[in-house]
Structure 1
Amino acid sequence: MSTSFTTTQRENASRWKQSTPTLSDDARLDAPYVGKSGRAAGKPYPFCLPAEYAEANLLPEVRDLALATFAALGIPWHAGVNDGPSNHLLSSQVQCANALTAMINEPDRIVAAFGGVVDIAEVLEIEPGRFLTFEYIGAEDLLGEARGAVRVRGAHCTSVDAAFKYVTSTGTVELALVEWKYTESYPSARRPEPQRDAVRVGRYEHLYLAEDGPVRALVPIEFFFDEPFYQLFRQQLLAHELERTGAEGADKVRVLHVLDPRNLAYQQSIVRPEMKEFGDTVDEIWTFLRREADRFVHIDARVFLDPNVTSADYVSRYA
């Protein structure tokens, strides 16, 4: 039986933790995972940092800028420790920040990473002083998720892990919404949530059933409330509404989905047998159900294992 992708990444992370010169000896100790509650629980793991060294989960060359950017934009860290990142070395948010933070100030890295799959002639600032930003939600509540409340980037509303804006070789302005996956998989069916599902139907069904919507209405909307389809569905709705309203001055809005193709467990995260009518993997099903093929683009996560795209430290850690 082949070793799972997650197991391999845990082993790689544990080896990096013991060998990298970027950590102190105390930071190399096994440690329990600090969960969303903010408390460390369970047995110590070699792929977790001691809580007091959680900031070292961010590579040195991007650490200060990542922390400052997340603080300035009010972005919470997933299972963060003391307003900093998670202590889990397989955190996808941390991997995303380690890969993309330098692109905030260095647009050439954006071209190096994404220029092979989208037509980038020039990268534009998406926010003052930033060529790339994190946990993007758009300026307006286009999906009606906040109902007048203040939205928080990266929490309780549809966000994408990162975003950037560019001009194509034909002069078209496009907005790229970057969703980052690492070891995620969703093997189990969720528990029924009748009240929450009713709210979800009220928010998204009119967008789903719209004749010009981005997803073909071939199944009940409730089928999209299972992960990973729930996230794919909402982000495609967001991209469509951003494009429809001309957000950021963009003519087109694309979702760029970063995923290592070796993560086969993600592709098998299909909990409803009815969805398998459209394909044998998440990618096949999602490709079949989307209306416009070019508004969703796959990015092989291995493209970031290039120091010209990220850094030598990033390659050492994740290769």
Structure 2
Amino acid sequence: MNTFVNAERTGQSKFFAESEPGYGGYRGSAYRLDPASFERNLAPSIRSAVPAYFKQKGIQWHTHSNHGLSSQVCCVNFLAPLVLKPKMLARLVQSALGGELPTMLPVEEGPDGEWFVGFEWIGGDYLNESGKSGLRSRGANATSADAVLMFERDGKRETLLIEWKYTESYGTPISPNGNATRLKRYESLVLSPDGPIRADLGLVLEDFFWEPFYQLLRQQMLAFQMEKAREYGADIVRVLHLSPAGNSALKAVTAPRLREYGSDFAAVWRKLQQLPDRFASMNISKAFAPLLQAEAFPEWATYLKARYSNLFSEPLEVSQSI
């Protein structure tokens, strides 16, 4: 068993025992809450707004929304408390991408005003995924980003698709069932000039049928097509991959055909890009450090550091306010 996963199971069990007594222990696991009370898996400040937002937008919760190790819940706990705090989000963008401080733009209407973060974002149907019904669902059965931010900087408008990982690790190819559909949908959208992957490397779609590369490919194709269509007026659309520094198993290059390009999945992924700056990867601790060090939102920082202490690779000290 992945030692990082073991540590998180222990940490989440302890956290729930202390903060949510009587709700843990579902199916004998202290890190699982009673499904009827899944909202207690969310930070206290968002337990009403986020379920209301998901219902408003028709977003589907992942199967294990009551699980302490849920990546979807982890992402929401970090980002949803900031949906009405554009200045803090601007610091996050600067931390993750560098450059000047951006001006954040609202993404969509939430239950309590304009939100500057969207969740389970699918964009337009550029990847031929709607099928005969013409419908897609946010959070299921369509390529989606865990979160999306929009901002302006240096005279350009940007969209940032965020892929959030927590305890995941991979090692086996995706199921061959459905490969004919995958080829029909995506084969013409992979390689430059019509897709994000360099055409001079001799790669084909089947080379990416290993996670996390298959998921990354779909998200990068979505970003490429969103930028091509200038969706929401974006001049640039990037993918930002955020994961814990301690989850070393996630960094493995699982796809055999891609191992010649390196041993770290993020470094390999950049090498394959037609436009390498359209992909960025950073550990969660480093990305959020400027925000968690600030005094502007202490209850949010206190909750995250108590619940997800193993995600922070180095001590965080209070610094300037945002």
- Letter aligned with residue 274 of structure 1: R
Check 1:260–1:67 CA distance in 2 against 1; reply closer, same or farther (3 A cut): same
The aligned length equals 293
Preserved contact between residue 256 and residue 296 of structure 1 (Cα < 8 Å)? yes
Is 1:166 aligned with 2:162?
A: no
CA shift for structure 1 position 54: 1.8
Q: Is the 8 A contact 1:268 1:281 kept in 2?
A: yes
User: 1:4-153 residue pairs with structure 2 within 5 A?
Assistant: 4-20=3-19, 23=20, 25-28=21-24, 30-32=25-27, 44-79=28-63, 86-118=65-97, 119=99, 120-128=101-109, 129-138=114-123, 140-148=124-132, 149-153=134-138
Instruction: Report if the CA contact (8 A) 1:227-1:269 is conserved.
Output: no
RMSD of aligned C-alpha atoms?
1.9
Cα distance in 2 for residues equivalent to 1:190 and 1:172: 38
The alpha carbon displacement at 1:260 in A equals 1.3
Residue 312 (structure 2) aligns with = none
2:320 paired residue number:
none
Mark the runs of 5 or more structure 2 residues left unpaired by the alignment. 310-322
Runs of 4+ in 1 over 4 A off after TM superposition: 307-310
Match of 1:280 among 263, 270, 286: 263
Provide the identity percentage: 36
Which residue is equivalent to 1:201? 183
TM-score (structure 1 length as normaliser): 0.86
Measured in 1, the distance between the counterparts of 2:80 and 2:293 equals 14
Q: State the one-letter code of the partner of 2:189.
A: L
SS in 2 for 1:164: strand
Q: Deviation digits for residues 210-268 of structure 1, max 9, x if unmatched?
A: 42521124322112122111110000000000001100111000111111122111112
1:300 to 2:295 alignment:
no
Counterpart among 216, 229, 232 of residue 248 in structure 1: 232
User: Which of 247, 250, 273 does residue 266 from structure 1 map onto?
Assistant: 250
What are the residue-to-residue correspondences of 1:192-231 with 2, within 5 Å? 192-193=176-177, 196-217=178-199, 218-231=202-215
Query: Residue deviations 1:170-218, cap 9 Å, x none?
Result: 221101111111011112233432xx11111111111113425211243
Contact residue 126 and residue 248 of structure 1 kept, 8 A: no
The 8 Å contact of residues 185 and 269 in structure 1, kept in 2 or not, is answered as no
**Aligned residues of 2:172 and 2:211 also touching (Cα < 8 A):** no
Deviation of 1:269 (Å): 5.2
- The answer on whether the counterparts of 2:144 and 2:219 sit within 8 Å (CA) in structure 1 is yes
CA–CA separation in structure 1 for the residues paired with 2:257 and 2:222: 25
Distance 1:130 1:220 in 2: 39
Q: Does 1:314 align with 2:304?
A: yes
Residue type of the partner of 1:12?
Answer: G
The whole-number CA distance in structure 2 between the counterparts of 1:135 and 1:188 is 25
Q: Can you list the C-alpha shifts for 1:273-318, whole angstroms capped at 9, x where unaligned?
A: 3321111121232122112111011132114462647431122111
1:158 is paired with a residue of what secondary structure?
coil
Matched residues in 1 for 2:90 and 2:259: separation?
A: 36
Q: Distance in 2 between matches of 1:116 and 1:109?
A: 11
Letter in 1 for 2:78: A
DSSP-derived class of the 1:255 partner: strand
Aligned AA (1:198): A
- Residue pair 1:107, 1:131 contacting (<8 A) in 2 also: yes
Contact 1:121 / 1:166 at 8 angstroms: preserved in 2? yes
Aligned residues of 1:126 and 1:133 also touching (Cα < 8 A): yes
| 1:15 to partner: Cα distance | 1.4
- The separation in 1 between residues aligned to 2:221 and 2:141, in whole angstroms, is 16
**More off after superposition, 286-295 vs 205-214:** 205-214
- Structure 1's 213 and 52: CA in aligned 2 closer, same or farther, altered over 3 A? closer
CA contact (8 A) 1:57 1:94 kept: yes
Unaligned runs of 5+ in 1: 33-43, 81-85
1:188 aligns with 2:172: yes
Instruction: Name the structure 2 match of 1:155.
Output: 140
Question: For 1:26, what is the secondary structure of its paired residue?
Answer: coil
Residues in 2 aligned to 1:117 and 1:284: alpha-carbon distance in whole angstroms = 16
